[in-house]
A and B are shown apart, each in its own frame.
Chain A
Amino acid sequence: MLQPIQPCVRLKDAVKTFSSGTDIVRALDGLSLEIYPGEILAVTGESGSGKSTFLNIIGCMDELTEGHLEAFGRDMTKLSGKERTDYRRLDVGFIFQDYHLVPELSALENVALIASLVPDPLSPRDMLRSVGLEAESNRLPGQLSGGQQQKIAIARALVKRPRLLLADEPTAALDLGSAKEVLSILIRTIRENPESTDKKASLVLVTHNREITRIADRVIVMRSGRVSDIYLPPDPCGAEALEW
């Protein structure tokens, strides 16, 4: 599966510390990792091991304390606030565990709002259709189920054609059926991307659920802010095959 090409994101000796009160927490403690275009990378590990912190760092939501981050050929540690915003705006798509839709905008408007951020977005209506929620496009988030909201959130993340999709526990709040639907949309997006390899989107999927790691190309296990294990799933499969 792995292709001999340049990684799109490269994290080297990353350290992120938080000071809570008197003691200092090393959320990332010398983490080094590369992400390749078109790959689905699953990140797992016990609670507090630094998964979300890792995601926030590569999504430029937070800054490194020490170490080096390079994304799409740029040294991210040297960027200004505005350049970091532009990176998130143009290159990154976030999917959160608790959706975070704009409550007073309809499903379609939520997607369209994000589409308006980039110069060449996909059609918001097509995106809703592809997540199977065309009929609900005029409903407000409060009128949708959790699974539906998460699908909107995915449509929202995908509509601007990000090069890096970051999903933090996207299915944790969903039942098996909804989770499978959500995951298969994500897989389809990565797999069916028709363009050349270096334009392919990569997905970083943080999950507690061992079963979900089966859909990934590569799995990393984190412990205490470090990679404790990297492996290729023994039998990769589609979302339909998952069971828990």
Chain B
Amino acid sequence: MVTKMKTIQWTSAFRYMQKQKAACLSMCVVALLAVTAFLGIRFTAYALKSNGNRFWTQTAFRDIEIVAPALLSEEDLDRIRATDGVQDAEPVWHVSATVSGNRNTEIDVVSLTERINTVILRDGRMPESAGECLLEPPVLEELGLSVGDTIRLEDTQVLAIHDYIVCGVVDHADHACLPLQVPGSRYALVMPDAFDMEGLEHKCMRAVVRISGSEDADRFSDHYLTLSGQVRDRLDKLSREAVPKENGTLLESFLTWFSSFLGGTRRWLTLDVWGSTSYYAIRSASENVATIGATFAAVFVIVGAFVIYASIRRMVKEDRTRIGTAKAMGFRGNEIAFKYFAAGLIPTLTGMLVGVAIGYSVIQPILLSIYGRFYVYGFGSPVFRFVLTAFVLAVGSLIAALAVLIACADLLRQSAVRLMNDRSSESCVNTFKTDPSGRFPYFRLILRSLRTGWRPILVIVVGIAGCMALLVTGFTIRLSVARTIDRQFTDVERYDLKIRFAPDAGEGETPTQDKIRSALKDAELSRQAKTDGWIELTDRDCLFFAGGRMNSGELICVDPEVLDGYFILADPATGEPFVPSSETGIYIHLRTAETAELAPGDRLTLYIDQTKTKLITVAGVFDNYIGGQMILSRSAFESVFREEPDCNCFWVRCGKTKPEDIQSALKGLPVTVTRATEKKAEYKGYTSALDMIAGLLAGVAALMAAGVLTNLIYLQFYRKKRTLVIMRINGFSVAGTMGYVLWESVFTHAVGLILGISGGSLLARIIIGLMEGRQLHIVRSVQPLGWLISASVMLLFSIFIHVVVVRAVLRLKPTDDVMIR
């Protein structure tokens, strides 16, 4: 008996859904889009991490890296190996060099290791002698080299050999990301013998360390980070411990003890995975993607729930009499509700299942191929997460079930007689009869329907607001990111060319610096001219310890007066430009201040070179969007470090001269020239993935808006069906009849769009806040252009759907009871 009942109930439910196919389809579409977007994005977030992790497992990526400006001896290495939690450690020799090809490029010459931080051979073979080297693909590409070519590496006297044959192409554990994502020099890998071991006394510059139990670890897991963090802290402590001096006096050993007691001097820096820029980039890419996905999902869920509610609500209202009849027949509440649960849950579930498939097999591959451009291993492999999927399906079904329950609960509670009497709540008829001339009390009517039927109006407003919010969020993110890059190159960095050179190179003859000067003078530029000239400064990578962690930055030492026209410092609060004036302090940019919780007057530890480590006071904060610039005046540098900063960089404003001409004039000099436009393009590449994701989501939001608006506008007209028929019977003109409904549309759209703009701007602000990195400050202001685009998209859809529905109403005959099915 029960099964028989079930069979008929299912039959009934399926035929009912067929009848309500428009509503069911729209629920299905919304569920599909929500799950597609959410899971596609989430899977991608997981895939980004797992592909990175796989690469690092293949290359036995170091868990900890030790960077020793003062060099590491064999004893140091032994002490590192003996540290609790350390499984293995290998020495690394490392030096920066310039390589000349069709242009000059900075390159890091790094010694090959055996067990930790290994390479994946892509082409050629491993080196067999000290005169052979391996290159990473970006270097090959940039210099136009191929396997078998010879290159010359110029360094500061650490290399024993300078000419190498390129014997192979490799990916190195340190560079999971391509320069598009993580700029900076790449490696030339040589055998340790290529370094001048005698001169170095066999001491090395770095050590790579693996910790016990990290073989199969997920480097993104908290467990791993805690584990490696503990070892990192132990090694850091070791770096501050006094080195026992063999023949030291009592006073000397007391002094070393005292300085270690103060904690001031570290013999080396200990970096865990966070110290790897590739790790940081992959992790933040994954987290950014996940955040955008989650935020969008939240809105999708709200809109989806409202769409289901609206659809089912309309169905049960339509079915008042039938529900009453069923009650009279003795059907129980759950038996009556079955059909509505089926009509709400089956399309939702179907949509979600299709969404899982599309999310996995379409969205994820699209996103992975967008991101694939950033990684040496490319696309990687997609990921499916069963538990997450099951969770999403369960939560989605639960929300749908709740929406259905709320939609039909009150009707199921009402008595059968009341339902069968079919007294509709809509009773505006008398209002029309009073004034059939065509003049409408619109305002009064809207107020009245707000009072009597606020629920459907709320649903419509929320639906519109939700879609609008998604669109606004998508467009705001796109615009903000694009404006961030523009501002960096119009409001902050104003120079056209950056020329870097090694300060000590070219000894004996005319210094490189002078040659650059004369080349620039020949190009009719003059030193320190504001629009067509150059300035000379120190521009070097640095590390600083603040906010409890090691950070990287770009230290710029310059005479503050000459900065104007080249690099604008502006107060983040007021936007007013200022000239750095402090004689002792450093100027940091906004994100450093925010992430390391630094304010003027606070102090940070600056590591600029092998042995130079100083506590330095923050003098001020300036606005900067991309990059880790820190500004120190030359005099401040001198007073802190007690020496003059080396000039190693020119910033040039080309004025009327073509940058290409200056570039070719400098050809042949041992310098690297970067154009601002190249840097800008590089940043564009870097943000293109986020840009595309935001665009993709805006697209999905637009699709969803189409579905939701169709549903909601039909709902709105359905509610008015009876009134419309009666108005027509009573002789109202078509325009009058339309006016009544359209005014309500104007009201719901106006409120919905305004709420959507506010909500979307807020969401975008939250997402942007989460996307910002330690060296990335995204424009945070609202984007009215985004509002405009989103509102246009919404209104375009809405007008189209209104036209369709209005045409249906125009065909309405006074005898029609049912207008829209």
Contacts and interface: CB of A to CB of B under 8 A. Distances in A.
Contacts of A85: 327, 330-332
Contact of A109 (B8, B330, B420): B8
B329 A104 contact: no
B415 A62 contact: yes
23 contacts: A56-B416, A56-B417, A59-B328, A61-B327, A61-B328, A61-B416, A62-B415, A62-B417, A63-B415, A85-B327, A85-B332, A88-B328, A89-B329, A94-B328, A94-B329, A96-B420, A105-B8, A105-B11, A113-B5, A116-B2, A116-B4, A116-B8, A119-B1
B12 interface: yes
Contact of A117 (B16, B330, B415, B416): B330
Interface in A88-126: 88-90, 92, 94, 96, 100, 102, 104-105, 109, 112-117, 119
Nearest to A109: B8
Nearest to B17: A104
A46 interface: no
B416 A102 contact: no
| Of B4, B15, B329, most A-chain CB atoms within 10 Å | B329
A211 interface: no
Contacts of A105: 8, 11-12, 15
A61 B417 contact: yes
Contacts of A56: 416-417
A75 interface: no
Contacts, number: 71
Contacts of B321: 100
Nearest to B333: A85
Nearest to A166: B328
A56 to B, nearest CB: 5
A94 B19 CA distance: 27
Nearest to A96: B325
B322 interface: yes
Interface of A: 56, 59, 61-63, 82, 85-90, 92, 94, 96, 100, 102, 104-105, 109, 112-117, 119
A116 B5 CA distance: 5
B703 to A, nearest CB: 30
B144 to A, nearest CB: 72
A102 B11 CA distance: 12
Contact of B329 (A62, A109, A112, A117): A117
Contact of A100 (B8, B18, B322): B322
Contact of B5 (A62, A82, A104, A117): A117
| Of B8, B18, B330, B415, most A-chain CB atoms within 10 Å | B330
Interface of B is mostly: helix
Contacts of B328: 59, 61, 88, 94, 96
A117 B331 contact: yes
Contacts of A100: 321-322, 325, 420
A102 B322 contact: yes
Contacts of A115: 4
A117 B18 CA distance: 25
A88 B12 contact: no
B16 A104 contact: yes
Nearest to A111: B8
Contacts of B322: 100, 102
A112 B12 CA distance: 12
Given A61-B417, A62-B415, A96-B325, A90 B330 contact: yes
A171 to B, nearest CB: 19
Contacts of B8: 105, 109, 112-113, 116
Contact of A89 (B330, B415, B417): B330
A114 B329 contact: yes
Q: Which 10 A-B pairs have the closest CB atoms?
A: A89-B330, A104-B15, A116-B5, A88-B330, A100-B325, A61-B416, A113-B8, A62-B417, A116-B4, A94-B328
B334 to A, nearest CB: 11
B53 to A, nearest CB: 54
Interface in B292-323: 321-322
Contacts of A104: 12, 15-16, 18-19
Given A100-B322, A104-B15, 18 more contacts: A61-B328, A62-B417, A85-B327, A85-B331, A88-B328, A88-B330, A89-B331, A92-B330, A94-B325, A94-B329, A96-B420, A100-B321, A102-B322, A109-B11, A109-B12, A116-B2, A116-B8, A119-B1
Nearest to A55: B417
A59 B5 CA distance: 23
A117 B4 CA distance: 10
Interface in B485-543: none
